[in-house]
Amino acid sequence: MTAIAGERVPEPDSSEFVLRDFGGGPFGIYIHVPFCATRCGYCDFNTYTAGELGSSASPQSWMAALRGELSTAARLFGELPSPQPAVSTVFVGGGTPSLLGGDGLAEVLDAVRADFTLAADAEITTESNPESTSPRFFERIREAGFTRVSLGMQSAAEHVLRVLDRTHTPGRAVDAAREARAAGFDHVNLDLIYGTPGETDADLDASLDAVLAAGVDHVSAYSLIVEDGTALARRVRRGELPAPDDDVLAARYERIDARLAAAGLTWYEVSNWAATDSARCRHNLGYWDGGDWLGAGPGAHSHLGGIRWWNVKHPSRYAHRVREGGLPAAGWEALTAEERHTERVMLTARLRTGLRLADLEESERRSADRVIADGLAVRSGDHLLLTDRGRLLADAVVRTLLT
């Protein structure tokens, strides 16, 4: 692996930065909005509140820098031997993109269109906090061209939201989902977090009842992970809260899967369920299928033709680097064939479609036999598919395959 931490990505005509393997598959753009109204205790994402930023950065300075970065990236594509690909997916995440308001998100999409061509059937998603949305917000972003909304619900239990430091009221996420559908969005996702200290089975059932009542066509459910450096981690370390219990997490996952499956939502990735094939998040499938994407914004990661780079994290430094010219990268790496293989196994193993056995090395196919014997996977044609039990132990399955 070649890595140059803390240095600018070389210009595309440099011998160190050759995108000769790029092209042919879906191409997405991820936009990172680093702003949040408050900091949630469990979150370790690259986000900042207004108080943390002070006068060093603002949505306006971020927007100007984003336009500059996208223009620079478009020039990079212009120097490739193949034509610039059409953008099949755009995903605006964060942070809290809905803090930009409907007009602000429309401006983000205009900035993408200024330098890139969107495919006619492009999937265009924004994450949103239910508290910073309204019927007019959804109408505005639908008019702007967004096709999909992902709402952070986490839980319908007020005491669970308090532990997570979430500020929205328990019913607001469901109301927001209904408002999005009324505005013309066919594809609406609700995010759940399960296993929060103090959450009961009844709390989870109430959350699932609310999700299903909202009529969404996509649900993401993630077990709570206590990340180092977060306020939640400090509370667990001090003994104020218990750490999530693995057995409880497994039971909760099975409960979620059973309820969603009974309602017609089928898992297609370990933590994601969709009502139809068209409801699946194509942008995230691009990550899991080893696709190419450009990440723009502070701390965003990109992957193009086996080259990965990541931007500087702080919004003010990001804007400064863009003004200097070039891409605002903190470092980059050229993935070896072995590393690309490892990542492919790690990601595609989590998909319902599974791993092609032909893509595994001989020793890995022997390991696959052990995984099958343990009841964690089955052979279906030329693919290795996780069983229900295998989904609970997906990380262990991957470790077995790769060792």
Do residues 247 and 101 both lie within one domain?
yes
Is 1 a domain residue? no
Given this model, what pLDDT does residue 133 score?
Answer: 97
**Average pLDDT, whole number, for the chain?**
91
Is 321 a domain residue? no
Is 96 a domain residue? yes
Given this model, what pLDDT does residue 259 score?
Answer: 98
- Give the E-state strand segments of 170-254 in sequence order: 187-194, 218-223
Do residues 244 and 381 both lie within one domain?
no
Given this model, what pLDDT does residue 279 score?
Answer: 98
pLDDT band at residue 80 using 50, 70 and 90 as cut-offs: low
Is 156 a domain residue? yes
C-alpha distances out from residue 294 to 61, 123, 179, 329, 402, Å: 20, 15, 31, 12, 28
Q: For residue range 48-67, what is the model confidence (pLDDT) as tens digits?
A: 888 888 888 899 999 999 99
Closest alpha carbon to 66 in 275, 296, 379, 344: 296
Which residue type is seen at 210?
A: A
Do residues 284 and 360 both lie within one domain?
no
Structural domain span for residue 347: 337-402
Highest mean pLDDT among 73-82, 200-209, 332-341: 200-209
Would you list the DSSP string of 244-308?
Answer: PPHHHHHHHHHHHHHHHHHTT-EEEETTEEESSGGGS-HHHHHHHTT-EEEEESTT-EEEETTEE
For residue 75, give the CATH number of its domain.
3.20.20.70
* Whether residue 2 has pLDDT greater than 50: no
Domain boundary among 289, 304, 320: 289
For residue 288, what are its two tokens?
């899991």
Domain count of the fold of the chain = 2
Three-state SS for 103-126 is HHHHHHHHHHHHHCCEEEEEEEEE
| Beta-bridge partners for 192 | 154, 221
* Whether residue 19 has pLDDT greater than 80: no
Given this model, what pLDDT does residue 387 score?
Answer: 98
Is 301 a domain residue? no
Is 277 a domain residue? yes
In this structure, what DSSP letter does residue 56 have? S
For residue 79, what are its two tokens?
């120097």
Would you list the DSSP string of 6-39?
Answer: TSPPPPTTSTT---TT--SS-EEEEEEE-B-SS-
pLDDT band at residue 87 using 50, 70 and 90 as cut-offs: very high
* Whether residue 1 has pLDDT greater than 50: no
* Whether residue 14 has pLDDT greater than 60: no
| Higher pLDDT pick, 164 / 126 | 126
Q: Interior CA angle at 382 toward 378 and 387, to 5°?
A: 20
Do residues 234 and 380 both lie within one domain?
no
Do residues 195 and 277 both lie within one domain?
yes
Is 6 a domain residue? no
Do residues 133 and 208 both lie within one domain?
yes
For residue 348, give the CATH number of its domain.
1.10.10
Do residues 185 and 265 both lie within one domain?
yes
Given this model, what pLDDT does residue 403 score?
Answer: 87
Do residues 264 and 352 both lie within one domain?
no
Relative to beta strand 148-154, strand 266-269 is: unpaired
Relative to beta strand 377-380, strand 383-386 is: antiparallel
For residue 145, what are its two tokens?
């061209």
* Whether residue 248 has pLDDT greater than 50: yes
Are 296 and 38 in contact by the 8 Å Cβ rule? The answer is no
d(Cα 88, Cα 123) in Å, to the nearest integer?
Answer: 6
Are 69 and 327 in contact by the 8 Å Cβ rule? The answer is yes
For residue 17, what are its two tokens?
């930065």
For residue 303, report the phi and psi dihedrals to the nearest 5 degrees: -145, 115
Do residues 27 and 99 both lie within one domain?
yes
Given this model, what pLDDT does residue 23 score?
Answer: 59
Do residues 165 and 229 both lie within one domain?
yes
Domain boundary among 289, 319, 349: 289
Chain-centroid distance of CA 375 in Å reads 30
Do residues 173 and 40 both lie within one domain?
yes
* Whether residue 281 has pLDDT greater than 70: yes
| Higher pLDDT pick, 387 / 22 | 387
Q: For residue range 212-241, what is the model confidence (pLDDT) as tens digits?
A: 999 999 999 999 998 898 899 999 999 999
d(Cα 213, Cα 178) in Å, to the nearest integer?
Answer: 9
For residue 332, report the phi and psi dihedrals to the nearest 5 degrees: -155, 165
Is 326 a domain residue? no
Given this model, what pLDDT does residue 212 score?
Answer: 96
Crossing angle, helix 315-324 and helix 59-78, to 10 degrees?
A: 40
Do residues 282 and 350 both lie within one domain?
no
Domain boundary among 289, 319, 353: 289
